[in-house]
Structure 1
Amino acid sequence: MGKSLNGRRVAVVGGLRTPFVKAGTYFKDLSPLAMSTHVVAEMLSRYGVVADSLDDIVWGRVIHDPRISNIAREIVLDLRLPARIRGYMVSNNCITSAHAIANLADAIAGGRSEAGIAGGVESMSQAPILFSREASRIFLEAGLASSTSQQIKALLRLRPRHFRPESLSVKEPSTGLSMGEHCEIMAKQWQISRQVQDEIALRSHLRAAQATADGRLAAEIAPLKGIDRDMIVRGDTSLERLGSLRPVFDRSSRGTLTAGNSSPLTDGAAGVLLMSEERAAKEGRKPLAFIRDVHFASLHPDDGLLMAPALAVPALLRRTGLSLRDMDIVEMHEAFGAQVACNLAAWEQGWKDEAIGVVDQAILNPLGSSIAVGHPFAATGARIVTTLAGEMARKKSRYGLVSICAAGAMAAAMILERD
């Protein structure tokens, strides 16, 4: 992206999010809309943004509520923001808010927008309850009935079995396997040991705990319901504790993925404030960073469901003329410790694209990542961009890299830069 044809650069002015909490706990009674409006309202307040200066809100979610088809527009209306602000929803698994950011950035670079907020939300605590197709047909027929007698006639076909809900599937429709099961296959193919996975998880927790203690993570959090920090971080864990956990996806002696080296089901929302460079300068704002470029990639699930970063990142570096050595910070989404290790190995060795080198562990996820902080699917991209931009500003870094894998065998890569 960098400079578009008309020379407009896109500034990351700031980012904000809720604390991230384990599903079914502190935010179980909060709707996705409530968490989303909290983040947007707090962002407007914290950054002193006049609502009328916004052009767009682009917001995403993965677990859909059929009662709200366009959550972005509902944020505008719920907060009583100027009705002229455009709001639209995006959805693409774990790279949902990366798409939201890219879409808004493209609009700004192209001159169709001057300022907006992009992000996403997930409430695993309020996932929709599903019923069998047979039961759904009966309920639908009753709901569409034109008379009370027809409605009763339809409902009389219900049997006790129809009232048993079906759990929301986390399996890939194309393969019938969950992400964890796919990642177990990847770990075996790439010979990633349990020890390596647990070490990645431990490093994530220890770094997130340090970043919580020194205020770096707190700086990007808008407290909610009396909670002002991520509630999943475990700074007191150890390799011994992680090593005591049993595998959850392959329960045989060959299984290596556990609850400890996998990202947890999480509730939370996150957003990023983007402006054209000219608008930011006009308002006297100092951007944290600028979006240099974005790339999305995909492959066949049989090649490794979470291996698309091995395509997205090399392609992005090649297009920008930058190298992995140019990156001062690398933020890599930790869906699983094994997924991180597999993609790092692919970058180092070359796989379906050229080798790009080795990532220094000192610059990889310096504030921890999704294993420790949490992973509300549609919010993760905005969280990672917020974390990276903030750390780049603190360290006066030149370049930062974002890498996010996603279900469906897809990935997003993004480069942020500072002058």
Structure 2
Amino acid sequence: MGMIATGNANAVIAGGVELLSDLPIRYNKSARGALLGFAKAKDVPSKLKVGAEFVKNALFPELPVVTEFSSGETMGHSGDRLAASFNISRREQDEFAMRSHTFAAEAAKNGKLSDIIPVFLDGKKPVTIKADNGIRVSSMEKLSSLKPAFVKPHGTITAANSSYMTDGATAALIMTEDFALANGYKPKAYLRDYMYVSQDPKDQLLLSPAHVIPKLLDKAGLGLKDIDVFEIHEAFAGQVLANIEAMDSDYFCTEKMKRSGKYGRVPLEKLNLWGGSLSIGHPFGATGVRLAIHSAHRLKEEKGQYAVIAACAAGGHGVGMLVEAYGK
């Protein structure tokens, strides 16, 4: 958007890719140090000493885990603490997760997820599978039986009310309106504005939507009532619900956002009506375009004018975007 706005491009393909099914497993720091030490070892005794240090640590790899690099805390622990701080119950989280899967299943059934094309590699040949391969509509009884995944034994985040990690790739064709029409393309929507925010990566790691939505809408001169479609990234069910509570909290808005009072409540009847990351999956580098295209398609389907996208990210960062329907 910046390149187009400044005249440095007429058309851009933007997207991302993530490969989470084959994460690298590293040797631990001591083993890595020993390997690097081989180059400095000049004689046999030195090499044997370094080799012994490597062998001692080689069987203790660093297993892949989604951690916040600034604090070393896993995202799940952050999510558990966030849900607790806003009094989001386990039942509320499970209900929201079931809502996401139910909506995604219905959207897939009605052909609304046709832009999501799941494939797997059978040998070297890509095989297309149905678009609801990650969607699992379950029951509250089954969801409530799962054990906490992070904070044990009293945590509320489970595998079912967390987004699942998956491989994925996305691409979006972004153009000026004049260039698109001149080249035979009909736009899906206008990308009107965007904003990045950052806050304390320890206590507010997953609260970016609550920070960015009010600031973005203030900048655009709009309010919650003007927005027809909300697409908020579902890292955890508790995280989405906590952000909704935060925007509707006098304490949070005055103390953390320095506003005069609470901002308001995102209406659930406008939020993630085709499912979200809990049900569709979350390949980190690819989710942004998925949020954008869902916003554009929902605006057309629901005959709305404005959509808001919001997502949290590592480092306490977050992003918001304002999308407008293309009605010409």
Which TM class, normalised by the smaller chain length? 0.7 to 0.9
Amino acid at match of 2:101: H
Partner residue of 1:240?
141
Cα distance in 1, alignment partners of residues 48 and 68 from structure 2:
33
Residue number among 3, 7, 11 corresponding to 1:115 in the alignment: 11
Deviation per residue, 1:354-405 (Å, 9 max, x gap): 4332222221001000011101111111111121112223333210010101
In structure 2, do the counterparts of structure 1 residues 190 and 283 end up closer, same or farther at CA, with 3 Å as the change threshold?
same
* Identity of matched residues, %: 39
Q: CA deviation at 1:330?
A: 0.3
Q: CA deviation at 1:151?
A: 11
What does residue range 127-166 of structure 1 map to in structure 2 within 5 Å? Answer: 127-140=23-36, 142=38, 154=47, 157-159=50-52, 160-164=55-59, 165-166=61-62
Residue number among 251, 265, 270 corresponding to 1:358 in the alignment: 265
| Equivalent residues of 1:248, 1:258 under 8 A apart | yes
| Equivalent residues of 1:218, 1:228 under 8 A apart | no
User: TM-score w.r.t. structure 2 length?
Assistant: 0.87
Amino acid at match of 2:297: G
| Equivalent residues of 1:328, 1:399 under 8 A apart | yes
Cα distance in 1, alignment partners of residues 110 and 276 from structure 2:
16
Cα distance in 1, alignment partners of residues 116 and 78 from structure 2:
32
| Equivalent residues of 2:216, 2:321 under 8 A apart | yes
Give the RMSD, CA atoms, in angstroms: 2.3
In structure 2, do the counterparts of structure 1 residues 163 and 280 end up closer, same or farther at CA, with 3 Å as the change threshold?
same
Cα distance in 1, alignment partners of residues 21 and 48 from structure 2:
29
Cα distance in 2, alignment partners of residues 377 and 218 from structure 1:
20
Residue number among 188, 204, 224 corresponding to 1:324 in the alignment: 224
Cα distance in 1, alignment partners of residues 90 and 285 from structure 2:
28
Residue number among 131, 138, 156 corresponding to 1:229 in the alignment: 131
In structure 2, do the counterparts of structure 1 residues 361 and 139 end up closer, same or farther at CA, with 3 Å as the change threshold?
same
| Equivalent residues of 2:13, 2:174 under 8 A apart | yes
| Equivalent residues of 1:220, 1:387 under 8 A apart | no
Q: Does 1:410 align with 2:317?
A: yes
Q: CA deviation at 1:153?
A: 7.3
Cα distance in 2, alignment partners of residues 394 and 155 from structure 1:
68
What does residue range 206-225 of structure 1 map to in structure 2 within 5 Å? Answer: 206-221=102-117, 223-224=119-120, 225=126
5+ unaligned residues in a row in structure 1: which ranges?
1-104
Cα distance in 1, alignment partners of residues 29 and 17 from structure 2:
28
| Equivalent residues of 2:15, 2:289 under 8 A apart | yes
Aligned residues: 310
Cα distance in 2, alignment partners of residues 286 and 375 from structure 1:
29
In structure 2, do the counterparts of structure 1 residues 150 and 276 end up closer, same or farther at CA, with 3 Å as the change threshold?
farther
| Equivalent residues of 1:298, 1:410 under 8 A apart | yes
Q: CA deviation at 1:282?
A: 0.6
Q: Does 1:390 align with 2:293?
A: no
Q: CA deviation at 1:155?
A: 7.7
Q: CA deviation at 1:152?
A: 12
